[in-house]
Structures are given as C-alpha cells and as structure tokens.
Amino acid sequence: MPPAGPPPLLPPDVRHRLQGLKLRARRAAGSASGIHASRNRGAGLEFAQHRAYEPGDEPRLVDWKLYARSDRLFVREAERESPLTLWILLDASGSMGQADGARPDWTRLDAAKALAAGLAQMALAGGDSFGWATLAGDRPHLLAPGAGGRHRDRLWLELATLKAAGGFPSAAQWAPLWSRIGAHDLVVLLSDVFDPKTIDLAGRLAGAGREVLAIRLLTVEERDFPFRGAQRFRDPETGEELPGDGLQLRADFLRRFGEARARIGAELDTRGVRHVEYVLDEPLDAPLRRLFGGKA
C-alpha cells in the first residue's frame, strides 16, 4: 500500500497502468533456467524447508511421501531464487534538479523518482528483487537488492529525501557498483545522459555483461526552447552563465541539441545500451511501456 504521504511518489493512475507490465530481461527470457516471471511455488529450483500443514494449503503442495513415512502432513516449501535482479541507477546530479518554467515543481529528479518507484512496483509485482544506487557527489549511495513491500518502502523513504546536487561521480568512484551489481543483472539508468561519464558508466556496465537500459529524461524547454527575449542561462552543475536572446539562440540550439541527442543515442546503441527518451510532459508509464511493453 502506498504510504499516506503528501505527494504520492507514484500517482494511482500510473500505478494502475503499470500493472500489465512485467520486467523483462532479454537474456533471462527464454533461458534454460526458466521464465523468471513464473511464480509457481513448489516447483522451485531449490528446496527450502518443510513446514506443518495448515488448513488452506493446496493438497498438491503436501509432501505425500513424508506423510507416508511419518503419518503427518508436511508442506514442501521451495525458496525460489529469482533469476532477475533489478538495479535502479538514479542520477542525482545538479542537472537533474532542472524543471520547466511552466511547471516549476516537477523537476527531472521528481520524474526520475517516480520512474524508480514504478520500476520497484513492477519488480515487486514480478517477485523480483531490486536494489538502487543514487549517483551524485563523491560516491554512489547503494542499497543492496531485496524484495518485498518493506524493501519498496525503504526505497520510497530514501527517495523522499533525495535532492539533486553536485556533479556526476567520476569513474574512480564507481568501484562499489562493480562489486555489487552482479552479472546478468538488469540495470535501469535514470538520467539526462548529458554527461559523457554517464554514457561511459552505462557502456562499461553493458560491456561487462549486465543488461543496461537507460531512460533519458529531457525537459520540455530542452525539447522546445520556448524562450523569448533576453535571458540568462545557467548550468546548474558548473554555474556557468550565458546571456542571450531566446529567439536568436533557438534555431541553432535546436539543431545542435538534436544532433547531440542523436549522437548520444547512437553511442548508447553502439555500447549495447537500450534507451528511451522521456520528456517531462509525457505520461510516466510511457518510457516503461516502451522499454518493457510488447515483445521487445
């Protein structure tokens, strides 16, 4: 159940639309170890324990052989290890704090938090475990993968206090990620991917056998550049300022930014990172649907 907090991290309608979606990893899907989405209890891979029968347990779960030996009813329980672990990499650098002038309370980071909550919701629905790391400042902050509602609550709690500040961590500070993110894990990166270091991180994770997905968050102003008249633009991470006339800068910016988007996309493609773009005025489930919906 969502906590009765002031703004729910995940709006109910988005939560509803996400119900039909399942996390899907290309490598996991169709592999010999079975479909990770299966929740067939008892047909698990590894025996866990016997426990006493309680009314309501399915008869087929009863260990009849043991009953024959001991004349008592026991239920076989299997601990099913999920074949899928989801890692949510949340970029919390200063550029993520950018919002549109028309909607100043909806920053890129807010959208990323909501997407993270949605991903956690999907993992929870699929019985998959999930962990997360926030990337900002000196070193990434990690929480080990886990499953269940309480782990989800922990995620929500941490996201509630997360602020966008600082720059993207440099390559030397990525070490914890290498040790914690296991091979064949599913990694979803939520970032604007403007920083080449972000591309580098995603590319190296993908090159090391993880399946990496990236959701590139763009603001409406970056897509449309609706500025008129004299403005001062400031880079939130470097503090660099650039004065200019909105109309004059527009055409050139749209051209150069379009090229940059295409180049970043191409680079991510080259390095084996699946990616989608999400602009802040789109519905929240759109990027997830593009990533995990359909046959993919």
Beta carbons within 10 angstroms of residue 191's beta carbon: 25
User: Is the CB of residue 274 less than 8 Å from the CB of residue 291?
Assistant: yes
Residues 226, 220: Cα–Cα separation, whole Å: 9
Structure tokens at 65: 């052989």
Number of residues counted as binding other proteins (CB under 8 A):
35
User: Is the CB of residue 39 less than 8 Å from the CB of residue 127?
Assistant: yes
Closest to 132 in 3D by CA, of 96, 72, 115 = 115
> Minimum Å distance from CB 213 to other proteins?
21
User: Residue 248, interface with other proteins (CB under 8 A)?
Assistant: yes
User: Residue 231, interface with other proteins (CB under 8 A)?
Assistant: yes
> Minimum Å distance from CB 242 to other proteins?
5
Q: Is the dihedral of CA 119, 123, 128, 134 positive or negative?
A: positive
x-or-dash string of contact with other proteins, 162-201, rule CB under 8 A: ------------------------------x-x-------
**HEC string for 8-55:** CCCCHHHHHHHHHCCCCCCCCCCCCCCCCCCCCCCCCCEEEEEEECCC
Q: Which stretch binds other proteins (CB under 8 A): 13-21, 36-44, 167-175, 229-237?
A: 229-237
Q: 261: exposed, middle or buried (C-beta count within 10 Å: 0-12, 13-18, 19+)?
A: middle
> Minimum Å distance from CB 103 to other proteins?
13
User: Residue 235, interface with other proteins (CB under 8 A)?
Assistant: yes
> Minimum Å distance from CB 107 to other proteins?
9
Q: Which of 256, 266, 270, 283 binds other proteins (CB under 8 A)?
A: 256
> Minimum Å distance from CB 222 to other proteins?
5
Q: Compare residues 194 and 292 and give the one whose CB is closer to other proteins.
A: 194
Q: Which amino acid is at 229?
A: G
Ramachandran quadrant class, 294 (left: phi over 0; alpha: psi -120 to 50; beta: rest): left
Residues 86, 119: Cα–Cα separation, whole Å: 9
Q: Compare residues 153 and 267 and give the one whose CB is closer to other proteins.
A: 267
Q: Which residue has the tokens 């002031």?
A: 6
x-or-dash string of contact with other proteins, 86-105, rule CB under 8 A: --------xx-xxx-x----
User: Residue 85, interface with other proteins (CB under 8 A)?
Assistant: no
User: Residue 233, interface with other proteins (CB under 8 A)?
Assistant: yes
Q: Which of 260, 262, 266, 296 binds other proteins (CB under 8 A)?
A: 260
Which residues contact other proteins (rule: CB under 8 A)? 94-95, 97-99, 101, 108, 192, 194, 221-222, 227, 229-238, 240-245, 248-249, 252-253, 256-257, 260
